[in-house]
Structure 1
């Protein structure tokens, strides 16, 4: 019977023609409607599901609802990279909206551990409906239009009850830049005679596709990392309201059905998230979803896939804020209609499932609002009494040599409302605070798991992302609280010099300052050995990589040089010093050949079909937004005709690079051999090894000994194949490497032990050259996250994380790991930037036989 309903529902969506029929398909059971409120199709000029709706049209409709109805108010909570508005529609009764600040004040008492209100059922429940974080999963934003209209226009007693008992916040498009990229594609290839063939262009977007934002980042993972304005705006909004329930609407493969929580059992051995959340609350809401989807004959499943272990999803971050986050995954039509194993699936059908799930969420939240409020109250009160498994009361951190990286990490913690204190030259973070569980998230590491097959990353101790050395303490004087206003970096203003300027390269912002000076025409050298010298600020010791600007060797006047130096310092807050003599107290003098002039990077990166848009976007984002350095993005289809001689550095991230035939590979090899630098990351490194552009090898499994008998193949249950194979996938974990601090790629680091992030199965054997293995995994490399025994002991431990291989007069810098992961790995960014800025100064010494 259900299958019959399912097929009928699909056919109904295909056959709908008139606006009335289209409207009834979605919400005929929500009548009567206020005729003065325009329906989405009246406003847009087409029925929902007829075509994909642009973000500006969605926003315009929301503004219209706020204009014509006293049930709705709209706010702008941010702007995307492409300056599209991020909006939130507040919907409730006119009385609730007029008293919203008072209701908010009452609501926030439940998240304040110092207050104990008991009027759980008297305050409207806060529900935040979030849609379309992945731009090419478009059905949910269309459902947002229908949901907003229904809540604003319906006079049905069911809707009236929801409005009386809740305040609903509708975020129609979390990723507007990606959505519009996909919308343009789907509408561009839509034919008047709809094509359901999955091979049609309409169902297959061009690279980089619309899933990600402007810089090709996955915003669904950015709730925790907070790198982008979309996420930063959302977090700021979130911590003003602390909704009780948050939805996260997605799409999945066309031949799937519909997924709602509960997910598969959580993977962590000792989850930070309360068990009451992922068991009791999920099981409380699930029957509502099942009932609503049964009513329209839609098929669904639960418990078999996805996991909420990573705390940075829209379906997990709110769980660490005392709310209930809910994931919905709808089979995608990937266009307007597409063939499936069960017939044709229409865009309208996918929209209706999302619409129905949204209202089931509202119903469940309203009917259980007292339980949700009491749960949120207990969540924050327990934060003040809960003991961490480690026994620590405080985490202490701070880097004595890099104030800007310190500031970036503290700024990051403050975005999550984590209380941070300054005690002398160290920062302290107590666990006894409302954000206790977020503190655990930032600092705790794990090596035991209930499940070894993760949907995504299994490690997220963000202190390691920033290469922030920290320690847990039982007790410490906290010091003075740090705020966004007083978390500043103050450096002594650089004074004019007649002889030379010296710039500290330990600072995270030093490469950006270097590029600024180079772009303004200054010649800058790097110290290949340490030294100490008398400066305007007394005798100072300087590390490998310290930058030198000799005044007399510039093509500009001393006054012009000082102006550029001052601008660089003002812009990037990097410590700078002057000296009136080239004679050092210890180490090399300023006239030594161990000071080597650096070429300004002229960088390009290969992008397009067969290339990881995620990794390419991470490179683009780093250079564009932090270093303020342009990089040319060369499409794979343009490589054949590209003049590579315009560049001295080329980046290749993970990818198949199948478009590069033997002729193009030779072109790449010849260009590198001229003295240029090829930088490869993860799969890109594997590619240059596989294609024999370099004389390096991947780590191989040891061959069995001659007298060792081969092991018999053990039979295993077929049903377990996916799980068993999945265990060997390295979804994302943190490891320790031993870094050669004397190598140019290691310049700017003070500690040879460095955390790196690995989310691939690329294992590179150490170079045969004694001087080319820049970073190697340590003897006990595991820091955080899941890795199988085979991957750890057979492949990772004997491997190198970073090597340099000579190629003619040039070199190939090969990263096995991702130094720029999700724009959040401040700790390893400098390894990558050193490859760009110091690459031309890297040679591979050879010994005589």
Structure 2
């Protein structure tokens, strides 16, 4: 690494004149930056060979510049936090004094002691993270400008900052989305800038650059960690445990500039009041910086601090101060807005200004930030005491895969948990060793633990920027006792060994309990290998080694006598599969059951290979498309065909076994295609449709069941005698931001196979319902009589949804239509309900 002088490139003089220097109080900060700089450091403009912002940056350019800066400056090093789905490196610039750079290992060791709650030592750690939505690109540009400024400046306050703090700068948190956006907008930029918002430069194709490879909103994935970008980001967070996190975004072009605090009444109750007090103090620095630029702004409106799965709120439940920034978006070079023309360079300058105000504010409040983080972690037991332990006892009966997923999630969030060393009974619930966890309440991550399993239905302000509940108990469909008490001698950090897969020489069949999450991907691999597999249409009990084992409906049978596959071939294949998809497989020596159907019963149905088609493109909901794609691709390993809506009319639909319609408008499809799709089902195809897709199916006369949509539900709300000022409150009550409801299942219906019990929690976020039906045998699930489990849902909705259908299977000729009123795959964290899709894929066509 080359040693650098501490100077600042003269090209930044105009910016420096606008930004106040560091002072103890923001109103006393009247000094200005001078032009002293180290001109030997390559500036972004020199690196790009054109002015920063003239073209939208690609992710590779960002990474190469950070590496270049680290080579040239002793004050810059690089932190790697994994790769995106498309194998793009995620890099963060670590900027501090050369002295601090030389002792980063020591600093990191200190940071690992943060959760002890002991008084902290310097340095302050500040993390500025940008462009988690790939088409909110002003932040990524500002990050390069700021990185160069900090590395090259010799200003007194910056020297002090780098002596007393470590600054982490992550320019792009969504590499795949940023490249999708930059390529789009650069492709449609001409020699003359066009500000018309209808110009293609400002109108991205489907999907937009906001989302990642699987069209997921990564700024909703901080808790769930379904994507590698998020897992790398969380690892970085807990490695450095920052005191302050700046989360930089863009919003609609007609807005001005926003920074937190958000709406005070919409802050999550688990967030300490001191957190919001410090956020308000920091806001004074942002106010002054933007006032100096004559940039209008607002706070305490629109945005909130409630859902902990976002970049500005995850820090709040982890001992840090997270602050959201939102800049009006040019979505290109220049765009016409109601406030006049908005240019990319203006947006970049605003983001640089609030980045610097973040640094100055954090430095001015350093002692308070250090003290706040220490106090956040004080007063908690850090290790297990002797004797009885109190905490969450969690089980996923017959489903070790679910526990494995949960344990990996807890581990990434640094939440302490333990496995059982022997079976435990609490109340009337049994908890087995392989399928249970114990999470002590008294631990450093107590706040985050309580937040992840938060279960509330009453709120001061029922307005939510995102979901109102995300309780993992319900998302994973777990068996949970919140105040369990266990002896320490039944707890262990060591994962239990999985059950070994052995096949008796006298075996006639192999059985797989369908309740296991890994049963579906193993089934897919067996089908691809040409190994004949059946599923049980009814439950049965069979004796194995003098023990009666119960198998629910849906359980798989692999006969060991089948043409084309020897018993040795089958067992070899399964031995290979369980290495990648751990699950219990039972070897049986008889086809005779103790009760229920025998293995040779006609109620065992052959499973046919599937060839599904997922409809994508303009008019479909990109996030729902991505969730379905993610599940079939990464979990089931199904060769899935993605086809845009515009090409559907030209396809031979009979080439596919299933047509999957995610939510969307489908307004480009006409009645002619509706008839073609209906014929596909009549001839034996299966249609799986959810949410908005049902509206189009209904208009095309493909559904026998009628819908209840937003217009129907609005009439349930009494607006008599409401003033104009009450309008927002009414709109908040009419909104379903995301609440957890309970479904009552028909456990004998094939769509319900493999789901524990007779009820299922789901996430509802759309005012859509199904009317009562007199057609027998088609209702797989209804909303419970009292449907609300967690979150906010107006009583008008609760009464209307109560006992109404939620999941239907309508026969149509030789085929069927699976009707889902909700997205059961929400953000790929709803592991409890994703089995419905597996049932629709593998079991529905087998029952024709």
Normalised by the length of structure 2, the TM-score is 0.91
Which residue in 2 is equivalent to 1:11? Answer: none
Which residue in 2 is equivalent to 1:808? Answer: 813
Which residue in 1 is equivalent to 2:29? Answer: none
- Structure 2 CA distance for partners of 1:482 and 1:302, relative to 1, 3 Å: farther
- Structure 2 CA distance for partners of 1:547 and 1:165, relative to 1, 3 Å: same
Take 1:537 and 1:685, find their aligned partners in 2: how far apart are those partners?
50
Which secondary structure state, in structure 2, belongs to the residue aligned with residue 158 of structure 1? helix
Give 5+ residue unaligned stretches, structure 2: 1-7, 18-32, 383-388, 423-431
Which residue in 1 is equivalent to 2:68? Answer: 64
The answer to whether the 8 A contact 1:496-1:562 is kept is no
What are the residue-to-residue correspondences of 1:255-654 with 2, within 5 Å? Answer: 255-267=254-266, 271-278=269-276, 280-384=277-381, 393-423=390-420, 424=422, 425=432, 426-473=436-483, 475-479=485-489, 483=493, 486=495, 489-495=498-504, 499-535=508-544, 538-654=547-663
Take 2:174 and 2:753, find their aligned partners in 1: how far apart are those partners?
37
- Which stretch shifts more, 240-249 or 19-28? 19-28
Which residue in 2 is equivalent to 1:838? Answer: 843
- Which stretch shifts more, 468-477 or 160-169? 468-477
Q: CA RMSD in A?
A: 2.3
Normalised by the length of structure 1, the TM-score is 0.91
Take 1:800 and 1:31, find their aligned partners in 2: how far apart are those partners?
69
Deviation at 1:829, TM superposition (A): 0.7
The answer to whether the 8 A contact 2:9-2:43 is kept is no
Which residue in 1 is equivalent to 2:763? Answer: 757
Deviation at 1:273, TM superposition (A): 1.0
Take 1:216 and 1:752, find their aligned partners in 2: how far apart are those partners?
33
Which residue in 2 is equivalent to 1:389? Answer: none
Take 1:59 and 1:639, find their aligned partners in 2: how far apart are those partners?
39
Report runs of 4+ in structure 1 exceeding 6 Å deviation.
Answer: 19-22, 700-704, 710-713
Which residue in 2 is equivalent to 1:767? Answer: 773
The answer to whether the 8 A contact 2:13-2:35 is kept is no
Give 5+ residue unaligned stretches, structure 1: 1-18, 386-391, 705-709, 844-849
Q: 1:76 aligns with which of 71, 74, 80?
A: 80
- Which stretch shifts more, 562-571 or 581-590? 562-571
After superposition, the C-alpha distances for 1:523-558 in whole angstroms (9 at most, x for unaligned) are 111011112223468542211111111232332233
Take 2:824 and 2:78, find their aligned partners in 1: how far apart are those partners?
40
Q: In the alignment, does 2:53 pair up with 1:49?
A: yes
Take 2:674 and 2:298, find their aligned partners in 1: how far apart are those partners?
47
Deviation at 1:451, TM superposition (A): 0.9
Take 1:479 and 1:678, find their aligned partners in 2: how far apart are those partners?
52
Which secondary structure state, in structure 2, belongs to the residue aligned with residue 476 of structure 1? strand
Deviation at 1:790, TM superposition (A): 1.1
Take 1:418 and 1:670, find their aligned partners in 2: how far apart are those partners?
52
Which secondary structure state, in structure 1, belongs to the residue aligned with residue 734 of structure 2? coil
- Structure 2 CA distance for partners of 1:180 and 1:341, relative to 1, 3 Å: same
Deviation at 1:515, TM superposition (A): 0.4
Deviation at 1:561, TM superposition (A): 2.2
After superposition, the C-alpha distances for 1:239-292 in whole angstroms (9 at most, x for unaligned) are 111100011110011111000011012436x711111112x1111101000000
Take 1:482 and 1:332, find their aligned partners in 2: how far apart are those partners?
51
Take 2:196 and 2:708, find their aligned partners in 1: how far apart are those partners?
43
Deviation at 1:384, TM superposition (A): 4.6
- Which stretch shifts more, 528-537 or 172-181? 528-537
Take 1:54 and 1:366, find their aligned partners in 2: how far apart are those partners?
32
- Which stretch shifts more, 310-319 or 754-763? 754-763
The answer to whether the 8 A contact 2:180-2:209 is kept is yes
Deviation at 1:620, TM superposition (A): 0.4
After superposition, the C-alpha distances for 1:51-78 in whole angstroms (9 at most, x for unaligned) are 1011001000000111011000002111
Deviation at 1:570, TM superposition (A): 2.6
Deviation at 1:31, TM superposition (A): 2.7
Q: 1:698 aligns with which of 685, 697, 707?
A: 707
Take 1:264 and 1:489, find their aligned partners in 2: how far apart are those partners?
49
- Structure 2 CA distance for partners of 1:58 and 1:491, relative to 1, 3 Å: same
The answer to whether the 8 A contact 1:421-1:480 is kept is no
After superposition, the C-alpha distances for 1:599-619 in whole angstroms (9 at most, x for unaligned) are 111101110000000001000
Deviation at 1:621, TM superposition (A): 0.3
Paired residues, what number? 805
Take 2:799 and 2:296, find their aligned partners in 1: how far apart are those partners?
44
Take 1:419 and 1:541, find their aligned partners in 2: how far apart are those partners?
34
Which secondary structure state, in structure 1, belongs to the residue aligned with residue 245 of structure 2? strand
Deviation at 1:345, TM superposition (A): 0.9
Take 1:565 and 1:588, find their aligned partners in 2: how far apart are those partners?
24
Which secondary structure state, in structure 1, belongs to the residue aligned with residue 230 of structure 2? helix
The answer to whether the 8 A contact 2:540-2:594 is kept is yes
Which residue in 2 is equivalent to 1:821? Answer: 826
- Structure 2 CA distance for partners of 1:377 and 1:700, relative to 1, 3 Å: closer
Q: In the alignment, does 2:676 pair up with 1:667?
A: yes
Take 1:243 and 1:548, find their aligned partners in 2: how far apart are those partners?
52
Deviation at 1:579, TM superposition (A): 2.3
Deviation at 1:721, TM superposition (A): 2.1
Deviation at 1:726, TM superposition (A): 2.9
The answer to whether the 8 A contact 2:471-2:790 is kept is yes
